[in-house]
Chain A
Amino acid sequence: MHNFEFVKPSTVADAVAVLANAEAQPFAGGQTLIPSMKARLNAPEILVSLTGIAEMNGVRRDGGALVVGATTTHAAVARDAASHFPALAALAGQIGDPAVRTRGTLGGSLANNDPSACYPAAVLGTGATIVTNAREIAADDYFQGMFTTALDEGEIITSVRFPIPEKAAYAKFLQPASRFALTGVFVAKYASGVRVAVTGASEGGVFRWAEAEAALSSGFDADSIGRLSHPSDGMIADLHGTAEYRAHLVRVMTQRAVRAAH
Chain B
Amino acid sequence: MDSDSSNIRLFNVSKRYGAKYALKDVSLDIKKGEFVALMGESGCGKTTLLNIIGCLHPLTDGEYFLDGENIGEVRDDYTLAFIRNKMMGFIFQQFNLFSRLTALKNVALPALYAGTEKGIREEKATSLMKSVNIEDRASHKPTELSGGQQQRVSICRSLINNPDIILADEPTGALDSKSGIEIMEIFIDLKKKNKTIIMVTHTAEVAKYADRIIFMRDGKAVNNNYKLTSNY
Asked whether A and B interact, the reply is: no
